[in-house]
Chain A
Amino acid sequence: MKYVDEFRNGELAKNISANITREANPKRTFRLMEFCGGHTHAISRYGLADLLPPNVRMIHGPGCPVCVLPIGRVDQAIRLAREQGVILCTYADTVRVPASNNLSLMRAKASGADVRMIYSTQDALKIARDNPDREVVFLAIGFETTTPPTAVAVKQAAAEGLKNFSILCDHVLTPAAMHAILAVEGGVAIDGFVGPAHVSTVIGSKPYEPFADDYNKPVVIAGFEPLDVMQAILMLVRQINDGRAAVENEFIRAVTREGNVKAQELVAEVFELRETFEWRGLGSVPNSALKLRPPYAAFDAELKFAVDYVAVQDNKACECAAILRGQKRPQECKIFGTVCTPENPIGSCMVSSEGACAAHYSYGRFRESA
């Protein structure tokens, strides 16, 4: 496939790997966080850690939307489906996130709630049109990539006068989470960031400039293919060797400094900042999430159905919170791969293929014992 195969070439991977090994200053370590779950997946799936010298270490970041969704947010959706009888639509990964009382959206569905997995916000609109006598709520989760499609749907619902459609808005912001990671108490030692691929196609490279300018952390935006990630690591190693901190862009085929302005304008028209939002792992982070603007309040399920958010503690044995902060690795969790598996996830990081635990379970768990 074009734009895929050539970015997975093994010979070129060896070339970049040799460059990294030759250039990475052996007198120091390089602790690099890949923010995005898509990169976590690529690193695990293609075994990229094995192509890096021992002093270059990848730390998984919190950029997996279902991973950072706290239990209380899933509970809200389950309450809507079970108590208010709505048709609850959501992206597939979300239905398996463990919630309170041993429930998940999937288990709620098994016990009779009307939960439907959708691919696109257009599917949710169609369900609302086809069921005019039912309330349809879209559980809208994700970073800056899934927010513009939600904005399109809300505007379309407003234009069509689709009164039985609303959204439970859990859209979150990448730069706010990066700030939160750098502000973690006790500190997470990070020398640089591999910046997200698709998020950056929307927001551009400009929002990362404060991390280079104010925090002195280099950021290199990378595409999702394995060679993209390897090249970004090489570019980070070079910056760190030189003592530089700049925002560089490896994903020039899709990311510009300004990003997708049309998508940004749509989002700004429909959404505004929430004062604060609770993240799994990062706690309450100010200005880190979005809510609908007052003109679109009729489409806000939290207002329409009075389902308040109630914070819930994570399972005590689960280390997702520390893993999402980059402070622990999946294999350091006592229940990893024993009690908690992709078939029966206890924590959210084991749910989605982008989650650090699921990626390590699927591709890397025998590496260290071998």
Chain B
Amino acid sequence: MLEITTAIFLTLVGSAFYHLIPQGKLRLRMGWVAIVSFVIVFAYYPLAALFATGAGILSWLLALLGRRHAAVRKYGPFSLIGILLLFSYEDIRVATDSYSKTLLQFGMSFYMLRLYLALRTAAARTQVVRLEEFLAIALFFPIFPAGPICAQEAFTRSAVLNRPLVQNYLLGLLRIGIGIFALYFVTKVITRLTAPLIVLTGLDTAWQDMGWVNTYLVMVLKFLFLYANFAGYTEIAIGLGLFFGFQIPENFKYPFLASNIQNFWQRWHLSLSRFITTQIYLPLMLTLRKPRLSMFLAFAIVGMWHKMNPQFLVWGVGHGTMLVAYMTLTGSAVHTALVSRIHPWVWTVVSWLLTMTLVSFFSVFADQPSLAQSLALTRSLVPGW
């Protein structure tokens, strides 16, 4: 709780000075945002701040070169994948303990996506993107650990919006309150509910020692925990962004109301969903001309982007397969026959249950510390296996 208090305090101070800088001095404002962000990220994860700044400057130089050389413009953004790979491997000791290492890995994964977007946008723009503007969006501390992934143009556009300060601060406080509720209260309630159902061996879940009913319930609760954690964090990030007047995009739209996998991705992690569509799926589609294969490959790639391990590959392949199955079955003869015979309410409930079960399963599968643990979860879900 003290971490969020510090973050709110530092943002209030940082944003107060930001608003003292005249609106016309955009370069100065952006420079201030970059400095404040660097200091705050450095205070939490020093290595992340240093690596991020280094990668940011490198990307900015690539963007400048990309304006003159088509090859750099085309292939330059892929150099970021190398840096991402560096952070994804388990045996690279870049942090002192596993918790901060995980945070660093995830932070850098999101950071690389933002840099990738910023680099592509900057290389294509007619005006030269200045270093302070580039670093301000890349390093902006509320979105540093886990997004949302926002495009540079939208960020800069919202920075020059002439909205009343009081409105931004009030809305910011409102969103931060929702974030605190989800991140600190709801997660504690879920932990409390999970405790009597779960069997632990050390710090790991002993899935093999739990019945399939308990395994199912724990799996769903763990997914709810993930949602409360991620959505709460996003609300706080949006609220802190509003203190500066930045409109950070929404990331969730009631994902638990989704009744099919396509609808789920229209409600869950919207900024990543947009990134997958515009930066991976569409280019693959233009090259391969096969929508199903492109969708499958896009999600497999995103799985590996999350973390380079077999569990996340299964997550990506699983989501890709579900979407391909949905694309294939919707409108097919089998689908039409089923829909005509089953009551719409029953169909909706079954479809919702299936969607929630599968997304919970793949998320918890990916979240396990080892593939053996993930397989134990799978076995435990099947009665008598």
Genuine A/B complex: no
